[in-house]
Amino acid sequence: MKSLVEIHNLSAGYGPNLVLQGVNLKIKPSDFIGVIGPNGGGKTTLLKAILGLITPISGTIHFSESMKSGGAHRIGYLPQINNIDRQFPITVFDVVRSGLMSRQRLMGRYSAEENESALHLIEEMGISAIRNNPIGELSGGQVQRALLCRALVNKPALLILDEPNTYVDNRFERELYEKLKVLNEKLAILLVSHDLGTISTYVKSYACVNNSLHFHEGNTVTPELLKSYECPIQIISHGDIPHTVLHQHTH
Amino acid sequence: MQSLIALFDFEFFRNAILAAFMASITCGIIGTYIVSRRIVFISGGITHASFGGIGMGYYFGFNPILGAVVFGILSALGIELFTKKADLREDSAIAMLWSLGMAVGVIFIFLTPGYAPNLMSYLFGNILTVSKEDLLYLLFLSLFIIGFFIAFYRMIIFVSFDEEFALTNNAPVKLFNALLISLVALTIVLNIRVVGIILVMSLLTIPQAIANLFTKRFDWMMILSIVFGFLGSILGLALSYIYDIPSGAAIIFTLVILYGVIKISGLLIEKSRQ
């Protein structure tokens, strides 16, 4: 299968600090990759590089033709919820429709078709009743849903989610992952999470980012495996999965 | 009442009403942008930095407002560019610019031989002395802002709400930020003649605070801010006439009272419903 995104020997960082070094990763259309790793290990930097928010210091990120659409890449992005100013005077419907904006469309109105697809997503996500409410009146889970609609409304080929489970209730978290599972039938997903236990049921592979990147096919992750990848992450699981906490180790 | 109506016979009074109207339009729209984006402090910096231009205008003998326009826009773009590129704390940088502008203004006014006429009107504004020229500038700015916000409304919201997301969609974020901050500077400077440097920030924030009591939508906030801004200006103007107090201060005072009255009656209505 042809890759949507091919990252080759990527180094990136801020100023003199190289947060990422020699990273290689291929994202295929059916992928559901869990991006894990310690804080400060470069998870966010990797996302920013793929999203085009930072320029790599060296290496390349190649996008396939099917990823390109009118000057932009077909990426849907769900930022961390605390990056959003929830006091901003904007309604749910307008947040969702804003996902359709790009350089090509400076002016004009949304077409009937675009409104229709936005409303359809809102319906699907179960936030129809609050679609005309300002986002300031919403719960964390509802804001996440609205932002997920915004990420999906432009029909992306790759969906990138940055810690979608922070500040969100358990019920929404489960719903979200079930939703992602369905979405994954049509698009590739890159999910950044610190919560290995929960995502392990859903992801198909792991990318452990800790300055370098180690790719692991399959969703079974054992502490030993993480150790061999030099991935100092804690496994804290919920529900029926046994509770494991990885102790500190040096490498 | 009779004497208030008779005031319309005077050209200066009709001009004052026109100035109040256009100040409400420009400050209503741009203020909503400022408040929504949380750049009130940046706007305060631009306001005071523009005083440097006024001082240079006095010293070199050109229209002080022209100097303020140049200083205002340059400092606005400076803040926009430098705080993002250079490794400088944004609020410190703004405070520096804020006081630098005031210092430059004070130095040049001090160096200007003789008495600096109308200096108080730049600091505190005087809506009753706005000239035809001032009105014309305000008219152009009002029309431009209205046109700009109607044409690019969705893009303005998109870029303001979540800049990072807009960047990932390849939206022209930098261009719009620069255009909008320049409009902020122009709005501030041209309204200095109406309410003055010290008070112009309140015309950009209090009507929005009142509007925010009724709505949490950007479009309605703009419209209601214009309405409340104009209402406050007219009532303030009447107040300043009746009690013979400075117009700028009377307008701001009225707006704050208006906010208080609406806020408290809202709370009372809510309480009586329970």
Our CA-based measurement puts residue B173 at a distance from the nearest CA of chain A, in whole angstroms, of 9
Distances (CA, A) of B22 to B29, B39, B127, B144: 11, 22, 12, 12
Question: Which range, of A80-94, B76-90, B194-208, averages the lowest pLDDT?
Answer: B76-90
- What whole-number distance in Å separates Cα of residue B262 and Cα of residue B231? 13
| Residue B39, C-beta contacts closer than 8 angstroms, at least 6 positions apart | B181, B184
- What whole-number distance in Å separates Cα of residue B11 and Cα of residue B95? 40
Q: Is A61 helix (H, G, I), strand (E, B) or coil?
A: strand
Q: Is B4's pLDDT higher than 80? A: no
Q: Is B82's pLDDT higher than 80? A: no
The A residues from 174 to 233 touching B (CB cutoff 8 Å) are none
Does residue B157 sit at the A interface (CB-CB below 8 Å)?
A: yes
C-alpha A155: how far from its chain's center? 15
Amino acid code (one letter) for A247:
H
Query: In this predicted model, which residue has the larger pLDDT, B225 or B170?
Result: B225
Per the listing, tokens 């961390």 go with: A80
Site from A47, A98, A159 to mutate, B interface, most B CB atoms within 10 angstroms = A98
Our CA-based measurement puts residue B266 at a distance from the nearest CA of chain A, in whole angstroms, of 18
Identify whether B269 is part of a domain. no
Q: Is A202's pLDDT higher than 70? A: yes
Give the sheet arrangement for strand A188-192, strand by strand: A75-78, A158-162, A188-192, A32-36, A205-210, A212-217
- Residue B78, exposed/middle/buried by CB under 10 A (0-12, 13-18, 19+)? middle
Query: In this predicted model, which residue has the larger pLDDT, A163 or A72?
Result: A163
Does residue A150 sit at the B interface (CB-CB below 8 Å)?
A: yes
Does residue A52 sit at the B interface (CB-CB below 8 Å)?
A: yes
- What whole-number distance in Å separates Cα of residue A28 and Cα of residue B21? 58
Does residue A72 sit at the B interface (CB-CB below 8 Å)?
A: yes
Site from A84, A85, A88 to mutate, B interface, most B CB atoms within 10 angstroms = A88
- What whole-number distance in Å separates Cα of residue B177 and Cα of residue B161? 12
Identify whether B111 is part of a domain. yes
Contacts of B158 in chain A (CB under 8 A): 98, 101
Q: Chains A and B: how many Cβ contacts under 8 Å?
A: 76
Q: Is A234's pLDDT higher than 60? A: no
Q: Is B273's pLDDT higher than 60? A: yes
Identify whether B151 is part of a domain. yes
Contact A191, A26 (CB under 8 A): no
Q: CATH no. for residue B32?
A: 1.10.3470.10
Closest Cβ opposite residue A51 in set B155, B168, B217: B168
Q: Is A243's pLDDT higher than 50? A: no
C-alpha A241: how far from its chain's center? 24
Contacts of A91 in chain B (CB under 8 A): 217
- The residue among B179, B149, B207, B214 whose CA lies nearest residue B31 is B207
Identify whether B268 is part of a domain. no
Identify whether B273 is part of a domain. no
Q: Is A240's pLDDT higher than 80? A: no
pLDDT band with cut points at 50, 70 and 90 for residue B86: low
Beta strands A32-36 and A17-27, pairing class: unpaired
Does residue A53 sit at the B interface (CB-CB below 8 Å)?
A: yes
Instruction: Note whether B216 contacts A98, CB cutoff 8 Å.
Output: no
Q: Is A247's pLDDT higher than 80? A: no
What does pLDDT average to over chain A?
A: 83
- What whole-number distance in Å separates Cα of residue A144 and Cα of residue B121? 50
pLDDT tens digits, A125-184: 889 999 999 999 998 889 999 999 999 998 999 999 998 877 677 777 888 888 899 999
Contact A127, B254 (CB under 8 A): no
The B residues from 199 to 238 touching A (CB cutoff 8 Å) are 212, 215-218, 221
Domain assignment of residue B53, given as a range: 2-263
Contacts of B211 in chain A (CB under 8 A): none
> What confidence score (pLDDT) does residue A232 get?
60
Contacts of A109 in chain B (CB under 8 A): 154
- Region B204-223: mean pLDDT is 96
Angle at B10 between CA B5 and CA B13, to 5 degrees: 75
Contact A36, A207 (CB under 8 A): yes
Identify whether B48 is part of a domain. yes
Angle at A55 between CA A19 and CA A208, to 5 degrees: 40
> What confidence score (pLDDT) does residue A237 get?
46
Tokens of B169: 């969609």
Instruction: Note whether A103 contacts B221, CB cutoff 8 Å.
Output: no
Q: Is A244's pLDDT higher than 70? A: no
What does pLDDT average to over chain B?
A: 91
Does residue B160 sit at the A interface (CB-CB below 8 Å)?
A: yes
The B residues from 163 to 182 touching A (CB cutoff 8 Å) are 164-172
Instruction: Note whether A102 contacts B165, CB cutoff 8 Å.
Output: no
Contact B49, B101 (CB under 8 A): yes
CA-nearest residue to B216 within chain A is A89
- What whole-number distance in Å separates Cα of residue B7 and Cα of residue B1? 10
Does residue A82 sit at the B interface (CB-CB below 8 Å)?
A: no
> What confidence score (pLDDT) does residue B226 get?
98
Our CA-based measurement puts residue B219 at a distance from the nearest CA of chain A, in whole angstroms, of 9
- Does the structure's ipTM exceed the value 0.90? no
Query: In this predicted model, which residue has the larger pLDDT, A96 or A69?
Result: A96
The B residues from 135 to 154 touching A (CB cutoff 8 Å) are 151-152, 154
If one counts the domains in chain B, the total is: 1
Does residue A17 sit at the B interface (CB-CB below 8 Å)?
A: no
> What confidence score (pLDDT) does residue B137 get?
94
C-alpha A55: how far from its chain's center? 19
Closest Cβ opposite residue B218 in set A71, A90, A106: A90
- Region A54-81: mean pLDDT is 88
CA-nearest residue to B147 within chain A is A107
> What confidence score (pLDDT) does residue B20 get?
94
pTM: 0.89
- What whole-number distance in Å separates Cα of residue A191 and Cα of residue A35? 6
Does residue A106 sit at the B interface (CB-CB below 8 Å)?
A: yes
What percent of chain A has a predicted confidence (pLDDT) above 70? 84
| Residue B210, C-beta contacts closer than 8 angstroms, at least 6 positions apart | B224, B225, B228, B255, B258, B259, B262
